Structure 1
Amino acid sequence: VPLFRSMGFEVVPLYCEMDGRFPNHHPDPTVVKNMKELAATVLREKADLGIAYDGDADRIGVVDELGNSLWGDELTLLFARELLKSEPGAAVVGEVKCSMRMYDQIAKAGGRPIMWKAGHSLIKAKMKEEGALLAGEMSGHIFWKHRYFGFDDAVYSSARLLEILTHSDQKLSQVLADVPPTFATEELRVDTVEEKKFEIVRRTVQHFKDQGYKVVDVDGVRVVFEDGWGLVRSSNTQPILVLRFEATTEKRLAEIRSLVEGALAKIQKTV
């Protein structure tokens, strides 16, 4: 709060008191219900945006002036398009759960989008390997090498966002308004057996390769269609499979989800 006030912004604090008991809600900006009070405050105060952090402020959540949340891949795209104005051709790393809109639009803006494994240590290593200036995850980790040190600092990301908006004549809700919309699920979690999860994913990768589908297998299996994709990956820390789907229409979203989940269900029975 003092930092943003020192930059000349009017700040309305919300749950900024230090309290490890988390009396209001757990500090996770990726949980929709956790952002509702922030969105309501933005609307009530007629603020330009709202910003939320996790407990150690390395993950960011953002609400625009209309009360709508921007997720990690949307923020990464927003930052990437601004970055590419001064650093044409720059590499930008994203994880496998990120929207196809992000990858497509970064390439359209002249950048080099790189899809990689989820996990902040893996992302940072890939950034170093590729010489990337920016990276982002759905979880709200945004990593900056441009004018920074190459790690995820949500307060710094906030300052970069405020810098962009200060020099723009657009509201936050308008900055990505030109990006074609898609339909996507949230991150879906399927319980499984710890000892079987990696074998299930391995067989799912092989199934879709054998069927002739385009597959990205850097982290699980992302089955790519002309108008969407479906993801199956195993959690590295829990006995669960993580699924996500995206498509250009709701009908195709349902079809892709049905295809991938149907194949997965059959494979699970054989492992």
Structure 2
Amino acid sequence: MVALSKTIFKAYDIRGVIDSTLDAGVARSIGQAFGQAALAKGERSVVIGRDGRLSGPALSAALAEGLQAAGVDVIDLGMVATPMVYFATNVLEGTRSGIMVTGSHNPPDYNGFKMVLAGEAIYGDAITALYDSIQAHDGSSAADKGSYRTHDIRAAYLERIIGDVKIARPIKIAVDCGNGVAGAFAGDLYRGMGCEVIELFCEVDGHFPNHHPDPAHPENLQDLIRALQTSDAEIGLAFDGDGDRLGIVTKDGHIIYPDRQMMLFAADVLSRNPGAEILYDVKCTRHLAPYIEQHGGRPLMYKTGHSLVKAKLKETGSPLGGEMSGHVFFKDRWYGFDDGLYAGARMLELLTKVDDPSALLNALPMAISTPELHLHLDEGENVALIDKLRTDATFPTSEKINDIDGLRVEYPDGFGLARSSNTTPVVVLRFEGENPEALARIQDEFRSVILAAKPDAKLPF
């Protein structure tokens, strides 16, 4: 038995290392605590699913036991992509709560839980409350145990997308699922839409033998780039381990990061929702806001975190939100949750309206930017450093500072970002400049203020 550790209760989900901080016993306790929280909201049933990780079946079974012990009925979808659990909470009668057993894009020995409670993505205090509930629990079970049944959501999910999202012409695509669970569905989805599909690493394998399933990192897209170079496929789609994030590669090998994908999505959504607010997180390019404005929308920058963006989307009524990490949330023609497979379908709908999809994508505004950089610190130091920068730092050539999530410092020719990660003890940094000189100058200013606050910081730039 692994002892319960508060460290696995993260800002947006629960995440731990198998047999170190997470095992079947912990999963059962989480199930029982979540079941009690669901009952308190008037919920009688909870949907569960799991990705392709080796530890998934055991954790999922224990989770179901815990939910049933709380007196909640369990509907088990089996091995599915995370968005299929979200989909089920929207379409199955009497069920607005769900738990996905997933390690997302983490290494193979990780696993965890993404949760929806009574139609709301839970985060922060609501996740901490589960830990408190487990600690306070006396070990008893409900007098009436919940029921258990399986349900196959696959056909309903695929039919819902294929019935609504239409490509304008036939297209050949390459799809790389990195042996993550999206591989069980992506080929059938896009073939069902009328695409010809080259499948790369679509066999679900929790060892991830080919490359890590995380399209945010260029090294994981090299196989897809090669497939486009050596075939007549026009475009490449890549997915993370649980299928809720999308990566895109052009025919000529350019990676179209999610903040630029959002430009095309926003223009399309705004054509049906003129004047609407479009959400995006603090890591996105400064070219996104003007693009949204040019297409008649109102840009709203918000905090990073898929649960936070989902909640803000609900609060504002926005038809679209997106994060630099690849989570894209469509409320326009969809349900408002992040779904990489669905985002891929919507992208193909737009790309097939033109003869040269890569030219359309490559023409989107862009600047010179760094990937996400991590300054590794000791536990708690990341929060303290950002607090110190907020009070002490000055940026001589900046125009304005946005402190909604860390510090995003805007310049006439770029931006710099330093924010505290909500999941690990790092400060996340990202820089963008209109030219190499601007990028270097902005990085120099950040280097000065960070080293002034913490002289021994080992900067990643």
TM-score tier, shorter chain, comes to: over 0.9
In our comparison, the structure showing a higher alpha carbon Rg is: 2
What is the CA distance between 1:114 and its match in structure 2? 0.8
What is the CA distance between 1:208 and its match in structure 2? 4.1
- Provide the rounded CA distance (Å) in 1 between the counterparts of 2:339 and 2:255: 19
Cα 1:11–1:267 change in 2 (3 A) is same
Q: TM-score normalized by structure 1?
A: 0.94
Instruction: Give deviations 1:29-83, integer Å, cap 9, x for gaps.
Output: 1111110010110121121111111111001111112221111111111111121
Partner of residue 221, structure 1: 407
Q: Report if aligned partners of 1:105, 1:179 keep a CA contact under 8 Å in 2.
A: no
Matched, 1:68 2:264: no
The secondary structure found in structure 2 opposite 1:263 is helix
What is the CA distance between 1:267 and its match in structure 2? 0.9
Matched, 1:146 2:360: no
- Provide the rounded CA distance (Å) in 1 between the counterparts of 2:249 and 2:406: 31
Instruction: Give deviations 1:101-147, integer Å, cap 9, x for gaps.
Output: 11221122111111111110000011111111111111111111000
The secondary structure found in structure 2 opposite 1:237 is coil
- Out of 30, 37, 40, the position equivalent to 2:226 is 40
- Provide the rounded CA distance (Å) in 2 between the counterparts of 1:78 and 1:213: 28
- Provide the rounded CA distance (Å) in 2 between the counterparts of 1:270 and 1:66: 42
**Number of paired residues?**
270
Farther off after superposition, 68-77 or 212-221: 212-221
What is the CA distance between 1:268 and its match in structure 2? 1.7
The secondary structure found in structure 1 opposite 2:287 is helix
- Out of 304, 313, 333, the position equivalent to 1:127 is 313
What is the CA distance between 1:251 and its match in structure 2? 0.2
Partner of residue 196, structure 1: 381
- Provide the rounded CA distance (Å) in 2 between the counterparts of 1:210 and 1:249: 19
Q: What are the equivalent positions in structure 2 for 1:55-134 lying under 5 Å apart?
A: 55-134=241-320
Matched, 1:242 2:416: no
The secondary structure found in structure 2 opposite 1:100 is coil
What is the CA distance between 1:213 and its match in structure 2? 5.2
Q: Report if aligned partners of 1:73, 1:137 keep a CA contact under 8 Å in 2.
A: yes
Aligned residue type for 2:304: A
Cα 1:264–1:17 change in 2 (3 A) is same
- Provide the rounded CA distance (Å) in 1 between the counterparts of 2:234 and 2:363: 19
- Out of 338, 346, 351, the position equivalent to 1:165 is 351
Aligned residue type for 2:376: D
What is the CA distance between 1:265 and its match in structure 2? 1.1
- Out of 230, 237, 240, the position equivalent to 1:54 is 240
Instruction: Give deviations 1:174-224, integer Å, cap 9, x for gaps.
Output: 224544431111111111122222121012122346968511001000011
Farther off after superposition, 199-208 or 45-54: 199-208
- Out of 247, 263, 268, the position equivalent to 2:449 is 263
Partner of residue 56, structure 2: none
Q: Which structure is higher in RCO with an 8 Å CA cutoff and minimum separation 6?
A: 1
What is the CA distance between 1:10 and its match in structure 2? 0.6
Matched, 1:183 2:360: no
Partner of residue 214, structure 2: 28
Cα 1:170–1:215 change in 2 (3 A) is farther
The secondary structure found in structure 1 opposite 2:196 is coil
Aligned residue type for 2:261: L
- Provide the rounded CA distance (Å) in 2 between the counterparts of 1:133 and 1:12: 32
Cα 1:131–1:208 change in 2 (3 A) is farther
What is the CA distance between 1:261 and its match in structure 2? 1.7
Partner of residue 164, structure 2: none
- Provide the rounded CA distance (Å) in 1 between the counterparts of 2:239 and 2:365: 28
Partner of residue 16, structure 2: none
- Provide the rounded CA distance (Å) in 1 between the counterparts of 2:205 and 2:382: 37
Aligned residue type for 1:144: F
Unpaired runs of 5+ residues, structure 1, are none
Unpaired runs of 5+ residues, structure 2, are 1-186
The secondary structure found in structure 1 opposite 2:205 is coil
Instruction: Give deviations 1:220-255, integer Å, cap 9, x for gaps.
Output: 000111111111111111111111111111101100
Q: Name the % identity.
A: 41
Matched, 1:207 2:392: yes
- Provide the rounded CA distance (Å) in 1 between the counterparts of 2:239 and 2:377: 31
Farther off after superposition, 1-10 or 209-218: 209-218
- Provide the rounded CA distance (Å) in 1 between the counterparts of 2:354 and 2:371: 31
- Provide the rounded CA distance (Å) in 1 between the counterparts of 2:201 and 2:260: 25
